[in-house]
Chain A
């Protein structure tokens, strides 16, 4: 097993500084610097993601999207090169906007909520392996860390909703709390399958386990991957599960009373969270930075690190793109349908997924069968079970839509 991939980015940074200036960075400074780097990364990636979202939306709606902001010469070339500076302009504008704190709000939670949501986001990014040996800190509770830290997001939303002292914010906060609490459970259970297969919680171990397995974990736990993806769309409050900020009924949900920079922080966190859940999905189910058809070298090579990082970002961007696609294509789900879907369908199915994964793990580890073959067999078993469910006529996923 190539140990070097668990090397942390903080160490790289220390080595680099030592190499350049011959001085060592004190340990206590490394983490703050790394967190600042993550914050910068989040801001940068959100700038790109927001632009991309608007372009994808425009393409889906047969428009061209932002074109006038940014280099005009490039915009003449194609719609995908227009408006490159749009998000930067938005950010600067939001910076100079007036900050309104309405007089009837509860100021402390009102101001703390956007700060908390960005902090949570930054902290959760600590364990994400952006490439081989490129996670800020490869904690050995990696997956649990992400899940538990991002469960605090709902706290920030509740705080925002309550302290705004407005009906719409409150309703948005309530809906979001209910939604996030119930979708967290299928989300965690869907992650349990790969955890079982990998036999560890650390993110880099997860990637290495997929290398050992010979196939990415979305194959043995396809159900888990789908459940995770659906539940994570609900977790980040994106359409079709955006009932907490539904524009047509709740103005803007819990962000109704936020203006200027504080709103920008919520906006930033939304996109950063989207990137976070997608990068977790890419790491846990799609092999993270593993380059397809290429062995991981035993020694650290900069080329492989670069390639791996590229592959990681490609996988994550693909998942993010699917999320945007879903957002602009599907209508919003009704709240009770949402709860039904989460509790009655996703949760039991995630248990089924856990069972399948356990079976695969036993066949692979105890009977020493080939990982690939076992995974394919598990897929077959899944299809069989689903067919069986069709035959014995338990309520089908569409049946509840007709009933209520």
Chain B
């Protein structure tokens, strides 16, 4: 498997190999971009909007996007809705079960910073990019289907800019504690203690 990953690097070294790789990049990226199968799951109100986008008026299938129920066959995770702390380990597990290359669209305000639950919520994960790397954020509460489609097209553009065999630039995770390798939900500088400090590491340790 490692050898296969190195092949592009070897090809680039032979004369004119760069051109070959550009063609290959084009084919593979277009294939990946036009067949993003998304995972069939929804967490809260945004999921309704996700369903609407899949249905006849907006029709995800135009972009070649169909849902698969099992993470093993999906390329794209659309986190649609409020991610509670209790659900967070499951979503991370699902993300880890997806085969590479995998992409994440965070849909709705809840998935960016907690949305309506930003203040004083003990149970909501304030931003899914604390546990999984997010490629595209779609703003709104909920975002309209057009906005979601726009997000998907933006993701397609992102995929089309990739290079085979190169590690891609990912918007990483936020606030990872280097010592435990766990996401921090408490601001490390103030050391403010909130109820979720007790809750979180226990729940997430199961996974890491």
**Partner-B contacts on A (CB < 8 A):** 54, 58, 61-69, 83, 85-86, 88-90, 92-93, 96-100, 247, 251-252, 255-260, 263
Contact = CB atoms under 8 A, between A and B. Distances in A.
Contacts of A259: 72-73, 99
Contacts of B59: 58, 63-65
B34 interface: yes
Contact of A69 (B28, B35, B69, B100): B35
B148 to A, nearest CB: 16
B123 interface: no
Nearest to A257: B72
Contact of A100 (B28, B68, B72): B72
A64 B62 contact: yes
Interface in B53-109: 55-56, 59, 61-64, 66, 68-70, 72-73, 75, 97, 99-101
B31 interface: yes
25 contacts: A54-B66, A58-B59, A63-B62, A65-B61, A66-B62, A66-B64, A67-B62, A68-B64, A85-B34, A86-B34, A86-B35, A89-B34, A89-B35, A96-B32, A97-B99, A97-B101, A98-B101, A247-B40, A247-B69, A251-B70, A252-B68, A252-B69, A255-B70, A258-B73, A263-B73
Nearest to A91: B31
B28 A58 contact: no
B64 A263 contact: no
A257 B73 CA distance: 8
A89 B72 contact: no
A324 to B, nearest CB: 15
A66 B37 CA distance: 13
Contacts of A252: 68-70, 73
B196 interface: no
Contact of B99 (A54, A85, A99): A99
B146 to A, nearest CB: 16
B149 to A, nearest CB: 11
A341 B27 CA distance: 48
Contacts of B69: 247, 251-252
A100 B73 CA distance: 10
Given A63-B61, A64-B62, 11 more contacts: A63-B55, A63-B56, A65-B59, A66-B61, A90-B64, A93-B31, A252-B68, A255-B73, A258-B72, A259-B72, A259-B99
A54 B61 contact: yes
Contacts of B62: 63-68, 83
A69 B99 contact: no
B174 to A, nearest CB: 25
A61 B56 contact: yes
A99 B99 CA distance: 7
A183 B28 CA distance: 41
A260 B74 CA distance: 9
Main SS of the interface on chain A?
Answer: loop
A122 to B, nearest CB: 23
B72 A69 contact: no
A89 B27 CA distance: 9
A86 B64 contact: yes
A113 B71 CA distance: 20
Contact of B34 (A63, A64, A68): A68
B99 A58 contact: no
Nearest to B66: A54
Contacts of A85: 34
A67 B153 CA distance: 14
Contacts of A69: 30, 34-35, 64
A214 B67 CA distance: 48
What are the 10 A-B residue pairs with the smallest beta carbon separation, nearest first?
A: A92-B31, A98-B99, A69-B34, A259-B72, A98-B100, A252-B70, A89-B31, A247-B69, A259-B99, A89-B34
Contacts of A93: 31-32, 35, 75
Contacts of A263: 72-73
A81 to B, nearest CB: 14
Contacts of B61: 54, 58, 63-66
A65 B56 CA distance: 9
A320 B100 CA distance: 34
Contacts of B68: 252
Contacts of B64: 66, 68-69, 83, 86, 89-90
A68 B63 contact: yes
A86 B31 CA distance: 8
Nearest to A90: B35
Nearest to B60: A63
Most chain A CB within a 10 A radius of its CB, from B30, B55, B56, B70: B70
Given A67-B62, A89-B64, A252-B68, A96 B99 contact: no
Nearest to A264: B73
Nearest to A75: B62
A82 to B, nearest CB: 8
Contacts of B28: 92, 96
Nearest to B33: A89
Contacts of B72: 100, 256-259, 263
Contacts of B97: 100
Contacts of A260: 99
A47 B142 CA distance: 37
